[in-house]
Structure 1
């Protein structure tokens, strides 16, 4: 909030933001727009923004959980490690649940525990889930930090009967995929460079008087796993 107010005071023409709370950021976005500033939301929707540019998070959830379903031959016990109440996380979980619901023999043991999108949260939530569930076959974590934390929890509990899929394709996720002893096996990769470039392009168009897109602009994700991570270019400038 304070950052946006500082930008308003500086009389900038455009703000590109990644909201921690899609609705909570609304009043600050309103103030910016009242000051004549174009506001673009990237990665996560922000209430009142002129345009939203995100990864196709529903696709990310679907791809991640299709990977899990396929690997389990559409049968087994799975957990979803949830996250903050923002659009990106909600869409990923919805996409995942849509995929799992196609398979009656897949049982979702838990889907509502918020690990806050962090490694520490993933460690804590997964530790609790391991204590409560003697048999887990697959884990969907809403992002790579959560997945890495869940992997650490498994190691501490000396459990290895399952595998973990995240979302991001982040540098830490890429490194984890390359580790042979990691239970973290796959992640639909986002492309932050493309998202940011698209936001600048759309913001410039709006400043030139062109209409803002009426629907979120969705950037497709790409599935990365242990088999193809060696050829993955990552988040660096391409």
Structure 2
């Protein structure tokens, strides 16, 4: 049985990836630019997204790029938590199993949604971009999170939605369950040694916490 769980945030707890993709293309279209392709966008998921940021700055400029992300962060707080994650968190809290978030986003960026969803009732530790030198797929976010939880990585389970995120968790020594969403379901996980993929909450609990 795992002693702690570390969640990714974007695309794992709430569907921020589709939300951001739609906002980006809304602004690009508004300013007479071609929308970004799904393939280009999904390649940035889970990591620093430098290519995406550079593209937006090239097309729109720094100020308009920041408008996109401000709108994204202010409106994503209204997105619902994935039911699977909500049920898993409720179970873990009942069992007194500590939880953390390891996100490539800045902590301040996820704070509106974090507060709206009352995640402080469940989450003990939040590690974000400002806490590490490198984000996913580098393992530093996960190493920092498990250190804050005071557990060995092998005793912790990670929940991720992307190749970048799952790679980071595995390289930090955690086992990973991948739960994809509509934006990551077609990513190539062939070289990712995940524990399981796209399984129900009931199966996660039965196989990894009560087996």
- TM-score by structure 1 length? 0.39
Q: Which has the higher helix share?
A: 2
Q: What's the TM-score once normalised by structure 2's chain length?
A: 0.43
The one of the two structures with greater contact order (alpha-carbon pairs below 8 A, sep at least 6) is 2
